[in-house]
């Protein structure tokens, strides 16, 4: 995640034809209506405006940091309370425009949650979080937020601004909830009645006063589906997440060894985790994106573990170009795959191995006609694949490969996905 300087001034955009002209006097509501029209043309689904007074959120932020729930994400604490003080982070900020952009591909089937849960139970599948299968959202959102800011400047005259999307010390969910884009779910993600939670958030800090849009009420009620669904128990209480146990943190943000006690719970998730979103009943309303950027690349929506395990570093870099996956690097990629293969090995070595493990056969080495492994010899193919990297030059990879190989003798663990049936 890019690091911000201690204070970042607003950039100035202006209508090139009236570059020296003062800001036009326009009604705030009229300007906001125009902004929403421009945003829709750029692929944004929802626009709100938040004030910059986030003082009431400071105590919660400090308590979360004090508990150590941020783990190795030291950038979360690096800027003190500037996360909750927009005008200190970016001097001159008066209002914050918040934006939602849906990311489910247009081709996503109606039963996508059922499909994704089935893949999690198939040992050979390599499960990558839905948001990460296409183009890097940082690039898409940042570019379109900048285009929106420039369009606003062309409409009002000059505009001091700075755009953000998960790229700076910004309380994104807090700003989004206060501006009516949704409410904070018990999993800590933003939830919207019309769109669930499968969307990205972005912000434009501006030096122009706009009327704040009203917050919406929460609609989680007594539902605990997201808490029950978390494989590692990372949601330690409603609205309280211990990132150190979160699979997304472990497979993306965490640079070192994955705690051995958590490895079996990761299953076949190799980059991120969608379990809490798959369980959330509101995601039956999840919206499809009109943008082609989030369409899956390189078959990542149906990738197999052994298929990805065969990638060398050059292939990894080529296949992840323009993808958020590249940020973890090849070593962590192999680390994550080794854990998933170890879990697949344990499952396929069980006396009555589930037939879902047979999906790994399609990508097993030497799978020419007559050599496709059967459920009875899947474990041998997984073992051979792991042994091929047992002497990998990176100690992190070797450690996780050795753990994975040891899983052939381990008893199978119970399914880690404990969903309430979504409605």
> Residue 376's pLDDT band (boundaries 50, 70, 90)?
low
What is the spatial distance between Cα 220 and Cα 217, in angstroms, rounded to a whole number? 10
Q: What is the pLDDT of residues 309-364, one digit of tens each?
A: 999 999 999 999 999 999 999 999 999 999 999 999 999 887 655 544 444 444 44
Query: Which residues neighbour 385 within 8 Å (Cβ) at sequence distance 6 or greater?
Result: 306, 309, 310, 341, 364, 365
Give residue 12's pLDDT band: very low, low, confident or very high (50, 70, 90): low
Q: Provide the sign of the torsion angle of the four alpha carbons 362, 363, 368, 373, taken in this order.
A: negative
The helix/strand/coil state of 379 is: helix
Q: What is the pLDDT of residue 8?
A: 54
State how beta strands 235-237 and 183-184 pair. Answer: unpaired
Once rounded to an integer, what is the mean pLDDT over residues 145-171? 93
Please report the pLDDT score of residue 415 as a whole number: 47
Q: For residue 184, how many other CB atoms are within 10 A of its CB? A: 17
Query: What does the alpha-carbon distance between residue 347 and residue 261 come to, in Å, rounded to a whole number?
Result: 17
| Contact assessment for residue 162 and residue 90, using Cβ atoms and an 8 Å cutoff | yes
Q: Which of 72, 102, 166, 312 is catalytic?
A: 166
Q: Give the confidence band of 394 by pLDDT, cuts at 50, 70, 90.
A: very high
Alpha-carbon distance of 85 to 91, in angstroms, equals: 10
DSSP state of 394: S
Q: Which of 72-81, 133-142, 189-198, 280-289 has the lowest mean pLDDT?
A: 72-81
CA-based nearest residue to 336, from 135, 128, 134: 128
For the record, the structure tokens of 35 come out as 């902004």
What pLDDT is recorded for position 301? 96
Cα dihedral across residues 60, 65, 69, 75: positive or negative: positive
Q: Which two tokens stand for residue 46?
A: 């929802």
Is 166 one of the annotated active-site residues of the chain? yes
Q: Both ends of the chain: CA-CA distance in Å?
A: 36
Average pLDDT score over residue span 293-322: 97
Q: Average pLDDT of the chain?
A: 88
Q: What is the pLDDT of residue 403?
A: 98
d(C-alpha 421, C-alpha 385), whole Å: 36
Confidence category of residue 413, pLDDT binned at 50, 70, 90:
low
| Positive or negative torsion for Cα 74, 11, 210, 163 | negative
- Please determine, for residue 366, whether its predicted confidence score (pLDDT) is greater than 50: no
Q: What is the pLDDT of residue 79?
A: 76
Q: How far apart are CA 106 and CA 292, in angstroms?
A: 8
Q: Would you place residue 215 in the very low, low, confident or very high pLDDT band (cuts 50, 70, 90)? A: very high
The span from the CA of 50 to the CA of 53, in Å, is 9
**What is the pairing mode between strands 199-206 and 95-102?**
antiparallel
The C-alpha atoms of residue 197 and residue 276 are separated, in whole angstroms, by 10
Amino acid 23: pLDDT: 55
Can you tell me the distance from the alpha carbon of 250 to that of 259, in angstroms, rounded to the nearest whole number?
Answer: 9
Distance CA 138, CA 122 (A): 31
Q: What is the pTM of this model?
A: 0.88
String of DSSP letters for 140-185: HHHHHHHHHHHHHHHHHSEEEEEEESSSSS--HHHHHHHTTS-EE-
pLDDT at 357: 45
Shortest CA distance to 268 belongs to which of 112, 415, 123? 123
Provide the pLDDT for residue 308: 98
What pLDDT score was predicted for residue 358?
41
pLDDT band at 24 (very low <50, low <70, confident <90, very high): low
For the residues 284-313, what does the mean pLDDT come to?
Answer: 97
Q: What is the pLDDT of residues 189-199, one digit of tens each?
A: 999 999 999 99
pLDDT given at position 307: 95
Chain centroid to Cα 217, Å, comes to 24
Please compute the mean of the pLDDT values over residues 181-192 and round it to a whole number.
Answer: 98
Neighbouring CB atoms inside 10 A of 361's CB total 19
Grade residue 77 by pLDDT with cuts at 50, 70 and 90: confident
- Please name the residues in contact with 81: beta carbons below 8 A apart, sequence gap of 6 or more: 58, 61, 62, 88
User: Which pLDDT does position 13 carry in this prediction?
Assistant: 57
Q: Which one-letter DSSP state was computed for residue 250?
A: I
Residue 6's pLDDT is what? 38
Examine the pLDDT at 98 and tell me if it is beyond 80.
yes
Q: What is the pLDDT of residue 388?
A: 97
Mean pLDDT of 161-165: 96
Q: Provide mean pLDDT across the span 15-31.
A: 55
CA-to-CA dists, residue 149 to 97, 158, 179, 205, angstroms: 10, 10, 18, 9
pLDDT band (50, 70, 90) for residue 14 = very low
Ranges 11-15, 64-68, 96-100, 203-207: which has the least confidence: 11-15
Percent of residues, the chain, with pLDDT higher than 90: 76
> SS3 of 235, please?
strand
- Per-residue model confidence as pLDDT tens digits over 109-127: 999 999 999 999 998 999 9
| The two structure tokens encoding residue 151 | 């369009």
pLDDT of residue 353: 59
Separation between Cα atoms, residue 46 and residue 291, nearest integer Å: 15
Distance CA(151)–CA(308), nearest Å, equals: 42
Residue 281 in tokens: 């009943």
Q: Which pLDDT score, from 0 to 100, does residue 355 have? A: 42
Of 18-32, 33-47, 153-167, 201-215, the least confident: 18-32
């Amino acid at each position: 995640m890019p690091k911000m300087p201690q204070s970042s001034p607003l950039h100035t955009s202006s209508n090139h034809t009236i570059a020296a002209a003062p800001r036009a006097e326009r009604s705030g509501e009229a300007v906001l209506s125009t902004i929403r029209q421009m945003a829709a043309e750029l692929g944004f689904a929802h626009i709100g405006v938040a004030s910059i007074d986030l003082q009431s959120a400071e105590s919660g932020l400090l308590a979360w940091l004090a508990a150590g729930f941020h783990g190795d994400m030291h950038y979360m604490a690096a800027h003190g309370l500037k996360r909750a003080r927009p005008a200190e982070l970016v001097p001159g900020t008066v209002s914050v425009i918040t934006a939602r952009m849906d990311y489910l591909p247009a081709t996503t089937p109606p039963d996508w949650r059922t499909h994704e849960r089935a893949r999690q139970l198939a040992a050979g599948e390599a499960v990558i979080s839905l948001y990460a299968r296409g183009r890097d959202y940082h690039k898409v959102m940042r570019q379109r937020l900048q285009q929106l800011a420039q369009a606003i400047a062309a409409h009002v005259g000059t505009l001091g601004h700075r755009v953000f999307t998960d790229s700076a010390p910004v309380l994104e969910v807090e700003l989004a909830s206060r501006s009516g884009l949704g409410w904070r779910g018990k999993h800590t993600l933003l939830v919207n009645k019309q769109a669930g939670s499968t969307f990205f958030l972005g912000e434009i800090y501006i030096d122009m006063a706009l009327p704040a849009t009203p917050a919406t009420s929460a609609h989680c009620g007594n539902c605990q589906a997201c808490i029950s669904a978390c494989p590692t128990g990372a949601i330690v209480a409603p609205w309280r997440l211990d990132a150190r146990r979160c699979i997304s943190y472990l497979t993306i943000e965490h640079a070192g060894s994955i705690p051995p006690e958590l490895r079996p719970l990761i299953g076949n998730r190799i980059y991120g985790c969608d379990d809490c979103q798959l369980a959330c009943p509101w995601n039956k309303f999840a919206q499809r994106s009109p943008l082609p950027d989030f369409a899956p690349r390189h078959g990542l929506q149906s990738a197999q573990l052994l298929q990805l395990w065969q990638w060398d570093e050059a292939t990894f870099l080529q296949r992840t170009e323009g993808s958020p996956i590249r940020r973890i690097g090849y070593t962590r990629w192999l680390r994550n795959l080794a854990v998933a293969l170890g879990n697949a090995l344990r499952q396929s070595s069980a006396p009555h191995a589930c037939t879902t493990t047979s999906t790994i056969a399609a990508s097993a080495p030497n799978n020419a006609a007559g050599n496709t492994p059967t459920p009875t010899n899947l474990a041998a193919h997984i073992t051979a694949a792991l042994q091929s990297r047992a002497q990998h030059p990176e100690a992190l990879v070797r450690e996780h490969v050795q753990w994975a190989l040891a899983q052939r003798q381990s008893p199978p663990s119970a399914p880690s996905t404990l969903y309430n049936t979504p409605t």
